[in-house]
Amino acid sequence: MVQLRGDEYADSGRDIQWAMVDQVKRYPDKSKRPDHILWNGRVVKTYDRIPVAESGLIRAEFLSVKPEFEQGFDLKVYDGWLELEKGERVDILRTWKDNRYEDSVEYPFFCRKGEIGVWNVFKRMYGNDRVVEEKWTGNAGFWVEELSESERIYHCSHGMADPPDFEALVFKVSIFR
């Protein structure tokens, strides 16, 4: 059995995903369950919800990325869509850091539910050169720097980092109404 200091998981010898599952077990009543864990005193999440108006503009920008693994982020519009350049509507947008493209994306959105989900993603190489796009595994997670109600910076660790490296990917999300 792992001994914890209160809700602090950094010294548990386990990864962020294990800590998130443990949090569910420790708080079976979802209404009382925290949406985060504590890791070295920081509030760490694997998923964030940004409250938004029914429509607006979302801008996401890579600020820094350590190059050892391909990394990116997902934006998920609940009960709505992001409208891409040629009018295509998607409810989820996965954006990878790629030096061939600009470091930012900006799209109008429509969202009946009033929230957009955000999380980091990464590519993991398995045997036989098989590459898998992953999220919410191993030490994948982030802490959020809230600049304002409509601007957040995400400091992310990819799943293979041991210990977690919350500066492996840093990106900013801004909402405009």
pTM for the whole structure? 0.94
Whether 122 contacts 72, CB under 8 Å:
yes
Q: Where is mean pLDDT largest: 1-5, 6-10, 11-15?
A: 11-15
Residue 88: CB atoms within 10 A of its CB come to 9
Taking alpha carbons only, the member of 120, 130, 133 closest to residue 172 is: 120
CA dist., res. 64 & res. 26, Å (int)? 35
Structure tokens at 137: 């595994």
**Mean of per-residue pLDDT scores for the chain:** 95
pLDDT digits (tens, 9 = 90+) for 72-109: 999 999 999 999 999 999 999 999 999 999 999 999 99
By percentage, how much of the chain surpasses pLDDT 70?
97
Task: Give the pLDDT score at 18.
Answer: 96
Taking alpha carbons only, the member of 14, 8, 10, 17 closest to residue 122 is: 17
pLDDT digits (tens, 9 = 90+) for 129-166: 899 999 999 999 999 999 999 999 999 999 999 999 99
- Mean pLDDT within 43-68: 97
